A and B are shown apart, each in its own frame.
Chain A
């Protein structure tokens, strides 16, 4: 019996002698649980500023894809995805900022939230807004937090504009400085310029609602433009809100060495036509001369495009004959190429020009417009392909000068050229708002009955996880159901 007792003791000792060790393993030695907000900012910036999208370029008739039938190019798309996970990171940054008392991060947070929300509402229409982020913000997991209701687009824009105003009013160089800022090197003044310039973009995107009494678009626009000391705006390309690429693996231009950019993307003929008509030297940095032409790169006749709406076989055939201008080499062969632009000085000038034309502000539309064009030509002048004299010659052409009655078309067309492969889906949304330039849809390959889609369908995960609310949102907005041709409130 003694032995049994001894064994019992040994047994129990062996098993539970060091039970406190179990607690020791409750800490993950590999990853932290708290962090300075400066460690969250870079990822948020990367998410917000990585805008370059080939799909957007196909849908916007800049490029044509030759590997297979592309749904973006033929307008046969269906769903898009939401990116609330980006806003979750913003919330976490705001929480860490509150923990350490670094308030500028919180105001930057207001900007980033607004930016991500605007991106999503432009894609879908109504989305969850007033009830979003409850689980991460308040640790609330009940059904209303887990399945937030959808807000009207009008209310979303009102909230966004108010948030942007708080950010504009509150960001301050007197506060604790920020760190690890990949965009402006911790310069708060430049961030303020971005917040204000971006606010003008949001207001211009609501141009169809200029009479809306809740939003007071004109008044808000004027408040910013008329008070440059309180609400500074971009002053040159140096203020561009853009992400510069670096020749380190993972930090390079997103299509650097992309096999398919090397072989399958060619300029759209409608885009080539515009550039040829304007004798626009940016053509030389956007595309490559065709092999069949045998002409040098600085000859406008060396370029020819494929037809975005034509059947694939037409395009592969023309390409096989060496008669199609490929996307410029620099997009696949240069590690840095050009930055990804969230919003640039050129766009701001085009917005101001349009605001003058629309009578929102006073000023000279042509001056703003030409400053915008000049800034864009400077931005796209890869490896100094063209001289500054060429830029001035271009601006001096009568065809470029604003002509009465055609101002909006000219401004938006120049904005369209300036956004080639650098501003994501913005040119598509501008076309949706203004109808310029006209996207051709006459070819045999086109889907969606030849219509240019107005939106994307809501993602499947919302139908799975938030069915009642997404279904209600569809019912209240789109009589034809969740459809890519549904017309959302901002463009009604």
Chain B
């Protein structure tokens, strides 16, 4: 609190008195470009420090000597000097400055404060909302993929799943119009409402959002009405997912079964049905002794011989070669929005509505997303302005696919565990005749579900209503001094249900029907009161002091209930339960109060300093340590403003910043993570139980801290035709909330305390420019690439410097595996010819990409614009479940070989590539490091049955144990736009364009069968190519 008082003192000191007066001049400042009025334009008397700034409606009023000269200046505009010459009304038009863009760029920073980019000591990158107006992704944030250095958007191929967002290796805060959105629902913001997106990359940038902003922030600024103009905009895109960018390739020569045998009995999967494998007999084998001419066996669709009661054998042929293509349908993404906005001297207004419809490639799946928003601002007086916005959004789906490896996943049943002997189209009629509603029809009833049955009967419903908005009151006490009160909220309620039909097969149970409902409610409110004082002391010193206080509160409640069986099939209601309803609920509340301050200094016209400090008090820590302070400091030097630089260099800026952020949120989802309580144990025959946690919590917890240093340079060359920006950062994560393990024999398995030190380091580079700029033709291009890794610096709780297998100095994305390998990576086999296992996990490789990159290009020729974006990653390993399961289960094309035929004939002919240990010994220390290795090897010569080998090892050693190089390049988006000439659209539209748009056009990757975009693979939907049209009309 002492520091806060100090900030206040400084603030009071700078409170300057008024000045002498002669005549009153009033007027309005307009933009010469579009005649909109300009607020916050500085109006000063030349040669003095006196002056004012324009209000929200662009007006000013100033008392000056009648012979004075007024200097109008504003960020992004050319400064204009106007002699008063006795006039009392002066209206001016400011030209947008174009000469030195880099030094004039304005960005939105923390708390919605606009600053010139050149004054910032940290990295900020802005993406214009226009870039996502044409091409459409299901979420607005998806459109940032590859466009921001250091920001890794990890997209999934699955319908209605959130892309994950990683900024410098961590998840950043989402902020909408200055209000933090801790729920970070990427579907709730309408992309057509976005004016621009600013990415505050570092800790310094986020310092003023407090702990929420510790990992940087993505700030959405939404569109507002522009003064003096009515604009009605219609934007419509429709895309079709007509073809595959990546689709798994399966073998089509062997069918269901095991050991080359298959005979259907009753679908139980045992005995001659082969346990559900796709290691069955070869298909399409000619056999002159059968009626069909092919080898025949009993199958699930065999008719029953009325005389014998036995199943009649059917020909064993490859009817299901195109199962994947036959099953999936054309997906659709259709986005339509309309908005209207207007502005006048007193204020502005904008309203919009949007609807996104997504039809999934899986039958009977879709997502609808509707948004409505209304916002505006109004000058209540010349000093008092109010700005408000309210958005309602509803996401709803009656069914979306379940993801992840397992029985409810479509691919599980369609790609991995169905043989080409089965034509998927035969399963379209998915009930057993006479048992509709009770028993699904399938070739196997112990492990797998009919994919049509899953799509049409196992229904995941999700309905979410979001409301969010803010009100901001601005009051200008004097030209130097203003106050802002802003309060904003996020609210949502989710109504989720799952309908599980009779005979649905999960792992370890077969459903007798179930219905479950989850209803949750969330509300948060953040209120900031911000005072700002700014003053220029002559030419060489300008000061801005901001002081604020904030209060954040959130509450979350949820109730989940589920039946235990359904008495009446297909009647989905909780009251229909067989056994007592299973139910649970929770309530979570938390509160954070903060005061903060910021001082910005401008000195000698090229040096910019910024200091911030924040004090938080939070309910999520033990009371004795729940208040804490943290500062930041930044400096920026625009060297090109003071130094005479060689000709090609038109702009040069160096920046540095240091920041510390403390966070008191142990677990972002659980505000009670610092309290030890019982947890609810299993109920047995309706007798309840409790379980005491085996994690203890230290009473001395203090906040977790990130301290960060960041250094950057920005260079403009050839009149800023070519711009380079480089940033290096180093974050130290310490006092981390860690469950420090201890011997479980002590009675607890771990104690939650502050421990360990990690270093995150990385580089971010941006190169952008206009390589060609002719009369009719322009090529703009931007390339960015970045890298970040995290290292364990200090394992503070371990006397020998280890956390598990991780040693001090190691990168934290090390992958360890248990398969036994020689030092040069060859597989070691057991005496029975199967993969041997190591008693300690051994280092295998790294998970994180070495680099991620993105490249955007826009070519403009007269009325036609072509733009495309490619991006990808280089290095790092991705584990692929799809590929592993394909080799394991028998569907991988690589399993079609002579050994497989031999195995089908009962012969053991396959010798796994690698070695066996013939002598010697290997010694490990207790961390699994090899301390001596005298092993001697010879080539493995034990021939085994190929099918047994694959079932036991998945052939991991043939495929780098399914860790594939993650490098890829993806053609993310392509847009060709034709802007209709003005003469055609005159009197109807102010502008109109039509675009051909494409997403996910092609991919070059090392990883087979799946899209590496998701950076992991746990059985994903095939990656689809989207093609479509966008129509944009402005009235």
Contact = CB atoms under 8 A, between A and B. Distances in A.
B743 A326 contact: no
B562 to A, nearest CB: 9
Contact of B259 (A145, A251, A317): A317
A320 B748 contact: no
Interface stretch (B172-180, B371-379, B677-685): B677-685
Interface string B941-956: 0001101100110000
A135 B746 contact: yes
Nearest to A85: B694
24 contacts: A19-B593, A22-B593, A22-B619, A42-B687, A82-B745, A84-B746, A89-B691, A136-B696, A182-B684, A248-B580, A249-B509, A263-B273, A291-B265, A317-B906, A319-B272, A319-B275, A320-B261, A460-B928, A461-B743, A462-B743, A464-B804, A465-B741, A465-B743, A466-B743
A128 B908 contact: no
Contact of A31 (B507, B591, B680): B680
Contact of A258 (B508, B588, B680, B681): B508
B746 A262 contact: no
Interface in B712-750: 741-749
Contacts of B566: none
Contacts of A131: 745
Interface in A31-76: 31-33, 35, 39-43, 46, 66-69, 71, 74, 76
B933 to A, nearest CB: 15
B826 interface: no
B958 interface: no
B745 A320 contact: no
Given A148-B743, A311-B908, 5 more contacts: A1-B15, A128-B743, A263-B275, A320-B274, A461-B743
Contact of B692 (A78, A92, A445): A92
Interface string B582-597: 1000111111011100
B926 A467 contact: yes
Given A148-B746, A263-B268, A320-B257, A464 B590 contact: no
A312 B509 contact: no
A25 B588 CA distance: 9
Interface residues of B, number: 113
Contacts of A30: 586-588, 672, 677
Nearest to B698: A141
B682 A78 contact: no
Interface stretch (A4-12, A159-167, A189-197, A229-237): A4-12
B947 A316 contact: yes
A447 B831 contact: yes
Contacts of B677: 28, 30-33
B716 to A, nearest CB: 42
Nearest to A66: B275
Nearest to A92: B692
B446 interface: yes
B840 interface: yes
Interface in B289-324: none
With a 10 A CB-CB cut-off, give which of A136, A182, A320 has the most chain B CB atoms: A320
Given A32-B690, A320-B257, A461-B741, A248 B682 contact: no
A478 to B, nearest CB: 14
B531 A7 contact: yes
Contact of B271 (A4, A35, A257, A324): A324
Contact of B582 (A182, A249, A482): A249
Given A14-B529, A324-B271, A449-B831, A147 B742 contact: yes
A262 B446 contact: yes
A297 to B, nearest CB: 15
Interface string A318-334: 01111010100000000
B504 to A, nearest CB: 11
Interface string B898-930: 000001001010000000000000000011100
| B contact face: mostly helix, strand, loop, or mixed | mixed
Interface string A434-464: 0000000000111101000000010011111
A133 interface: yes
Interface string B159-197: 000000000000000000000000000000000000000
A134 B743 CA distance: 11
B746 A25 contact: no
A383 interface: no
A258 B626 CA distance: 49
Contact of B682 (A46, A145, A449, A465): A46
A180 interface: yes
A137 interface: yes
A127 to B, nearest CB: 7
Interface string A124-148: 0001100111111100010001111
A449 B916 CA distance: 13
A216 to B, nearest CB: 27
A246 interface: yes
A16 B926 CA distance: 52
Q: Determine which residue in B531, B623, B687 has the highest number of CB atoms from chain A within 10 A of its CB, and name it.
A: B687
Contacts of A247: 579
Contact of B747 (A4, A137, A482): A137
